[in-house]
Each structure stands twice: as structure tokens, then as C-alpha cells.
Structure 1
Amino acid sequence: MEKNKHDVFEEAVKTLKKAGEIGGIGENAMAFLEEPKRIQQFRIPLKKDDGSFQVFEGCRVHYNDAIGPVRNGTRIRPEFNVAEAKALGLFMTIKHAVADIPAGGAKGGIRADVGKLTQREMETLVRSYIRALNPKGPWSDVPGADIGTGQQAMSWMLDEYEQLTGHHCPSAINDKPTSLGGSLGGEEATGRGVFLTMREALKDMGKPVEGCRAVLQGFGQVGVAFADMLVASGGELVAASDITGGVTNSEGLDLAALKAHVAETGGVAGFSGGSPVGIDELFTLDCDVVAPCAVHNVIHEENAPLIKAKLIVEGANGPVTTGADEILHKMGVMVVPDVVANSGGVIVCHFERTQGLSDQYWDLETVYQKLEMRITKAYRQSAEAAKQAGGASLRHGAWIFALKRVEEAMQLRGWI
């Protein structure tokens, strides 16, 4: 259960400050990075299909663009706010830097419930969002998809951008369908990256993927892609959950049957191939790996001491709080941080922009090969930075490596 006392941006800044302290990052760089470089905030009026009228709050955070133009997600959900966008923009800054991507971090979105919008209302809202951003193209800011948005929303965004500018520019928006210049492999990229980084961590622990017992929180696009690769490699999914509930089977869940059940009923709850399990029990089950792939702050100071797994791979952004991270590190639990583990989507978005700018598109095998090479390198660089920092956690290693890159870029530009 998410603990509301943990503000997601405050948690992100705690990690920033600790990594800066351990890594010896200069105080000028730290002062600049404690807040975003710029924030756009606006209100979107909408005449609804039933004749009513509603005003929606929107924003876009450009956290830091020292390394390159800012990129990434657009989130639409009822609880979305600026603090969330700031935290995610900071995470994106670190993700790009640790993966050697020449880009800065951005995030934005709209506070709205997509389940209460008609398709026409959703399209109008998304197009209005792009108009409010007044986007300047792929050399400035490249929005992408996130919670509440997907390929259709990105298609509307691209069309609106091209209507405004009067020319085709597939690289202006990420996470598009392939028919509009999107990259193959984009939809499963984040889950694939979670699996690949888990595999690298298990290697360092001297364990194979075969026979590995994993617990998955979040049975959406990311979680399912991760589970598919886990089971295909000989691992076992011993528990899974989503917003409807959870299920566990110590002998391993039948993944194909579980996916069919979710497709039919809309959620994990009620699956007959295992026993029900609550969110408070899920993370404490006997297993080798925990993969939180849903929302932030689900592993906190209260439940961290109860975790039996020796490896946590963060498929979501910020699922482990700062306090819990310290507890787990002392317990000898390895945490592969979100800025590495779930960067697969960010990496393929980089590939998508590259392909769009060059008008040369890659086959799926090429995308997968390049993704594996880049995310594995990010993991290894983070592990080495942690080692050089005197046995720091992998999270701090990743942030230290990234912060040094960002600091150098800001120094060369004369910002600090």
C-alpha cells in the first residue's frame, strides 16, 4: 500500500542529495539540480459530450537539458500533480545520463480520469495539451507515452504537432505506432529491460534465471513483458497482483492461464490457479526476486524488514522509499534501481527518435540487440560506480555515474 506521507519528489531529492554527497558532486551542481530548470503550467477548457464544461490542469517539467534536448512521458491520471512531474523529470534526467543517451529529462501530463472521458473528449484533451505546450520539435522537447496514454494518444499528439508546424516530423513525438514512424519493440521494451537487468544482477549473485522464483506487483504492460521472459527462461512466477487483487502459487502460476483470465475479467483477482494474497503480504512471500512494476512508494520502512527476497528489480518509478532502501541495503538485499531497471522504454524511445531523424528503421532483432547492449552497460557502469564509492548501493552508484555526467556538461556550458 502506498504511504501518503512519502512525497515522491521529496523522496527523489533525498536520493539526489545522498548520491551527490557520496559521489562528491559540487555544491553548485547540486543547488541547480534540486529543482527543475523550467515548468510549464496551464489550464485546458473542455466542452464535454453531455453538454457540461470542465477545466483540466496540465503541466510539463523540463528538469535539466545540459546533456541534450529533454524527452519523455505524458501521464494522465486523476491524482497527477506537479510534484509527481518534477520527480519523474528528475528520474528521466538520471536515466538518460546513466544509459549514455544524449538527452535531458522531462515529464508532463494532465489531471484527469481517462475512464470518464469519451474518445472524442480524450482526443480533444490530448490535442489541446500539445497546443498548450507550443512544442518546438525533436531538438527541444520530445513528449512520449506514460500512464493513461498510449499509441493512439501519441498519434493524436503527432498529428496536432504537424498541423501546427505544417510539416511531417515523426521524431517530434515518441511511442508512436510503427505506421507513423514508431520503433519496433517499444511496447515491451520496459519489461524486457527489467528482465535483462534482473539477469545481470543474478549473475553477480551467482544464480541462474532458471529456477528463479519471482513475485510481480503490477500485471500491466511492463509486468507481463517481464513475466513472459522470466517464464520463457525457466523462472517461476509465484505471485502476481494488480489493482484488483493478488494471487499466489508456490508451485508457480500458469502464466498463459493468468493472462487469459485477466483478458476476460479485467484483473488478477479471482484467478483459480492460486490462492488470493493481499498487497501487504505480497512482498513478504518466500521468493528470490521481487519486481514492483506498478506505482511508487509501495516498499517502505514498515514492510521492508519483512522482505525475504535477496533481489528487488524496480519496474516502476520510485517503488522503494529512501528509508526502505537504506534498510534493504543493510539487510544485504540488492535493489536494481528504477533509473536502470526500467530504462528499457527510455532507451527504445532514443532509438525511435534516431530512426525518425535518419528515416532508417530497424528490424526487431536489431532493436533487441541494441537494447540489451545499452541497458547491460548501464547496469555495469552503475555497479562499478557503486564499487568505487566504497560499497555504496547500486542505486547510489547509478545516480553518482549520472550526476557526474550532468555536472560535467553543466560546467562545460558555463552554467555552474
Structure 2
Amino acid sequence: MSKNPFQTALTTLQEAAKMADVEPNAIKMLSQPKRIFEFAIPMKMDNGELEIFTAYRVHYNDALGQVKNGLRFVPDLDLDTVKALGFWMTIKHAVGGIPAGGGKGGVRVDAGKLSEGELERLSRAYIRKLPMKGAWVDIPGADIGTSAKTMAWMLDEYEEINGFHSPAAINDKPAETSGTVGSMEATGTGAFFVTMEAVRDLNIPKGSTVAIQGFGNVGRIAARLLHKEGYKVVGVADYFGGVYDSKGIDIEKLEEHSLNHPNRSVEGYAGEKAINKEEVLELDCDILIPAAVQSVIHEENADKIKAKLIMEAANGPVTPGAEKMLQERNIHIVPDVLTNCGSAIVCSFERTQGLTDSYWDIETINSRLKEQITKAYRETMDTAQEKDTSMRNAAWINALQKVSKSMKARGWI
């Protein structure tokens, strides 16, 4: 059993390619990244010792436009993960109707162990050493281990290097540095909008039960909105621990608890019982939202999943082998490239605002996000029904056709 995320992405590519009716050369082009950067960042730590951090950036495909998005500062980052994430961003942008290609990167580091000063120096050093960057080339954004604060430092460093302001060069900045409102909430908000479409199609009523793995920007916002909408969140867990309560968890109180926890965790919250990040996936619930990391549902635990609907708010949380097992049990999966493309959509809004110096309020952001992501959902559902295939294959079919047409028009294939 392989949990290699890049192999997962390539497996999905081959499955969708059989039904997508695109040229074989398009699939060949999409089977590897256009550019890979791997570089060292030497840095003196607060104690005077020298540490050398490994950094990555992948430009996977830019047929639809400049590459964009996420930088991860995590201790287990490797090139295959970055390649997979860059590939998923390529597909995600195409699915979401965004005129951009896929980029991803980061640094192999435990960001939680860095001081504020060390984190700032590392963030600035990453941008200094990144070979290609800028609003028309490659626009990094926040991901695990990075934040609005780190992106503001990166923007400042980029502008210091170039000697002019360029707010569209970095995404997920604070609104105070010409960012956009709603940026950090966008993935969770978009996942909520897509979930509302899916439950309507599957006749899952309000009051149904929800379990969520991950309580960062994505899981927390999705939980908050579902709770407010009248759904019963019975289980939440993150890396450090979790809680189950059959009567439903008060999400507002859970958020307050996590904010006061040293690791911003839900660990220790009072409920019926404590659970861990694996157990939350196996809870008896109607809707399961994996909103943490990749490959958490695999062949070894797929037979224990009880949910009727899985909303992939994380990138690649279900492996291909597990997906086959779940499909045999008629468990409906709405794929990551659709469920979590809200952030990619709002990042596109952020770039537009930065280039035009015209900034939108949160009502405008959420209204446009809802319109664009629900359109992507309906297009995916239509293709799934037309081709009699899964939502994942349908999303990839639509994306592959868009990217292939652009590559052909450019003369690449």
C-alpha cells in the first residue's frame, strides 16, 4: 500500500485520463512538474548555532496562468509531497474556474519550535532565495505552519528587494498590508458552501451528525458554519487529541478552548470521551470532514469509516485504494480539488484587488466565492452524471480538458 501523495495524484490522473478524451501528450506533460526548485537556507539561530534548512518550490503547470499558492513550514516536508500539492493546485485552479497554474512549496522545519525572530528571518530568507517570484510569475500563499504574519514579512522582503510596492506578489496577507478580507477563512467557508450543495443532493437533513479531523483555519471555520446552520458536530480531533460528544459539541466554546491551549488544540475539551486523530475518522456520523493532512483514510482503516458523505477539506486525505473500498459501500466523496478550492478562489480575488488597488468587503468576497464554488460543484456533478463516474474523476475530467485545450492552443502539445 502506497501513501506517497504524488503517486496518489498520478493514479487519479491516469484514471481520469481514460475518460477525459484528451491528447496523450497532455497527460505526458502533466505527469511531471514544469520546474522544481530545491535550495538550502543557512540561518543563525537565536543561540548562535547555524542551522541549514531544506526548502522547495514547484511550478507544476502554468498553461492557464501564473502559478500560485501554498507554502508549508512543516518538519516532514519532502519533494514528493510538494509535487503532489503543486499538481493538485493545477487541477484545483482549473476546477474552480481560476486563470492560474499550480504552485506549492515550503521549508522542512518545525515552525512551532522557532522563536518569533527565527520565524521572521526564515520567512524573509525563503523569499530572498526563491529564484522566480512576482505577481506575473509565482505568487506564494499561506499553508500549514505559515500565516498572514509570515506572508506579510515575505511581501515586505520582496518589496525591499525590488524597490517598489507589489501587493499582488504574495497571497494570504493581512488586510492591513493590502491583503483581502476573508482570506484565512476562505477554505473552510468554501468547504461549507460545497457541503450545503452535497447534502441537498444526497437528502441529508439539518441536524445530521458531523465529525471533523483538524481544527485549524479549515476545520474550525467549517465546524463553526455547520454548527450555526443546525448540523450536530459530534467529534473533532487534531494532532494532539480530540473530543466526542453524541449530544453535539458547542463549537464556540471549543474555539475558545483551543485558543487558550498551548498548541491551539482541542485536546482536553470536556465531552463524553477523549478521542485521537485516527478515532475521529471512524465515528458513527453522517458527514466526515478530513481537514488536516493527506492519506489519512487508507486501505487499513477504510472499512471502519461509517459516514455517508466525505468532504475532502484536506489535500489528498483518501488514498486511491481506500476510495475504491468506500465506493463499493456507496459512501459519497466530494474531492479535495473541489471541496477546498475556496482559498484558491479568494487568492485569485486577492491578486485582482492588489493589481487594481480596488478592495472588496467581506460580503462581496463571500458572495463571489459562493457563486464561483457552487458553479464548480454543479459542473462537476453534471460531468459525474454524464460519464457515470465519481465526483473526483468528474472534477479531474473537467480540469484536464481545460488545461489540455490551453496547452494545445499554446503549441505545447
Query: TM-score, normalization: structure 1?
Result: 0.96
The equivalences for 1:170-209 within 5 A come to 170-208=167-205
Is 2:216 the partner of 1:213?
Answer: no
**8 Å CA contact 1:254, 1:273 repeated in 2:** no
The size of the alignment, in residue pairs, is 411
Is 2:141 the partner of 1:144?
Answer: yes
Tell me by how many angstroms 1:49 deviates. Answer: 1.6
Backbone CA RMSD of aligned residues: 1.2
**8 Å CA contact 2:212, 2:236 repeated in 1:** yes
Kindly provide the CA deviation profile for residues 32-65 of structure 1, in whole angstroms up to 9, marking residues without a partner as x: 1110001111111111121111111111100000
Query: TM-score, normalization: structure 2?
Result: 0.97
Is 2:62 the partner of 1:65?
Answer: yes
Q: Which amino acid aligns with 1:19?
A: A
Structure 2 residue matching 1:239: 3-state secondary structure: strand
Tell me by how many angstroms 1:122 deviates. Answer: 1.5
Q: Which deviates more, 173-182 or 322-331?
A: 322-331
Tell me by how many angstroms 1:132 deviates. Answer: 1.1
Is 2:18 the partner of 1:11?
Answer: no
Query: Residue 350 of structure 1 corresponds to which residue in structure 2?
Result: 348
2 CA distance for matches of 1:275 and 1:102? 46
Kindly provide the CA deviation profile for residues 245-291 of structure 1, in whole angstroms up to 9, marking residues without a partner as x: 12111111122222222222342222212311233432222211000
2 CA distance for matches of 1:136 and 1:289? 39
Q: Aligned in 2, Cα 1:291/1:136: closer, same or farther, shift over 3 Å?
A: closer
**8 Å CA contact 2:189, 2:222 repeated in 1:** yes
2:231 corresponds, among 230, 235, 242, to 235
Is 2:394 the partner of 1:393?
Answer: no
1 CA distance for matches of 2:246 and 2:12? 35
Tell me by how many angstroms 1:164 deviates. Answer: 1.1
Kindly provide the CA deviation profile for residues 62-108 of structure 1, in whole angstroms up to 9, marking residues without a partner as x: 00000101000111111111111100000000010011110000001
1 CA distance for matches of 2:131 and 2:398? 33
Q: Which amino acid aligns with 1:361?
A: Y
Q: Which deviates more, 305-314 or 392-401?
A: 305-314
Is 2:149 the partner of 1:163?
Answer: no
Q: Which amino acid aligns with 1:339?
A: V
Is 2:75 the partner of 1:101?
Answer: no
Tell me by how many angstroms 1:309 deviates. Answer: 1.2
Kindly provide the CA deviation profile for residues 126-146 of structure 1, in whole angstroms up to 9, marking residues without a partner as x: 111111113442111111111
1 CA distance for matches of 2:184 and 2:46? 31
**8 Å CA contact 1:253, 1:274 repeated in 2:** no
2 CA distance for matches of 1:167 and 1:385? 45
Q: Which amino acid aligns with 2:70?
A: G
1:84 corresponds, among 81, 85, 90, to 81
Query: Residue 112 of structure 1 corresponds to which residue in structure 2?
Result: 109
Query: Residue 297 of structure 1 corresponds to which residue in structure 2?
Result: 295
Structure 2 residue matching 1:44: 3-state secondary structure: strand
Q: Which amino acid aligns with 1:298?
A: V
Is 2:290 the partner of 1:282?
Answer: no
Task: List alignment gaps of at least 5 residues for structure 1.
Answer: none
1:403 corresponds, among 397, 400, 405, to 400
2 CA distance for matches of 1:176 and 1:275? 38
Q: Which amino acid aligns with 1:217?
A: Q
Tell me by how many angstroms 1:109 deviates. Answer: 0.6
**8 Å CA contact 1:215, 1:239 repeated in 2:** yes
Is 2:255 the partner of 1:259?
Answer: yes
Structure 2 residue matching 1:185: 3-state secondary structure: coil
Query: Residue 371 of structure 1 corresponds to which residue in structure 2?
Result: 369
Q: Which amino acid aligns with 1:102?
A: P
1 CA distance for matches of 2:44 and 2:360? 42
2 CA distance for matches of 1:277 and 1:56? 34
Q: Which amino acid aligns with 1:304?
A: A
1 CA distance for matches of 2:343 and 2:186? 5
Structure 1 residue matching 2:282: 3-state secondary structure: coil
Structure 1 residue matching 2:36: 3-state secondary structure: strand
> Identity percentage over the alignment?
49
**8 Å CA contact 1:66, 1:104 repeated in 2:** yes
Task: List alignment gaps of at least 5 residues for structure 2.
Answer: none
Tell me by how many angstroms 1:372 deviates. Answer: 0.2
**8 Å CA contact 2:139, 2:170 repeated in 1:** yes
2 CA distance for matches of 1:327 and 1:380? 25
Q: Which amino acid aligns with 2:19?
A: I
